[in-house]
Amino acid sequence: MEAVLIDTDIAIDYLRSSPYAREFVESLWVNDSAFLSVLSIYELFAGIKENERVATDNFIRACNTKKEWGTLSPLRPPYKGGGGAPPAQE
């Protein structure tokens, strides 16, 4: 099976013991194909209650993550004078 990026909604449903989410996520874990983005991890922790911390930590650890998903390229607005690159710094 290919890598599958788990949406935050699915992660929350899993943590709330939704049968369809549990079956889906656990099938991904069997094949080591469950991935979480840095944004999903952030979203899971943004709304967490203290009594949910251990289960959430365990869920995140059971999924794969990629460090490079947390690296954002700076977005640059188009500059007057053409092109999207900023003027050269001297």
Q: What is the full DSSP assignment across 34-77?
A: EE--HHHHHHHHHT--GGGHHHHHHHHHHSB--GGGGPPPPP-P
Nearest to 60 by CA among 38, 78, 77: 38
Asked whether 28 and 1 are in contact (CB, 8 A), the reply is yes
Residue range 45-55, pLDDT digits in tens: 987 899 999 99
User: What are the structure tokens assigned to 83, written together?
Assistant: 């092109």
- What is the pTM (predicted TM-score) of this model? 0.70
Residue corresponding to tokens 């952030």: 42
pLDDT for the residue numbered 71? 46
Residue with the bigger pLDDT between 76 and 58: it is 58
Residue range 9-48, pLDDT digits in tens: 999 999 999 999 999 999 999 999 999 998 899 999 987 8
pLDDT for the residue numbered 16? 96
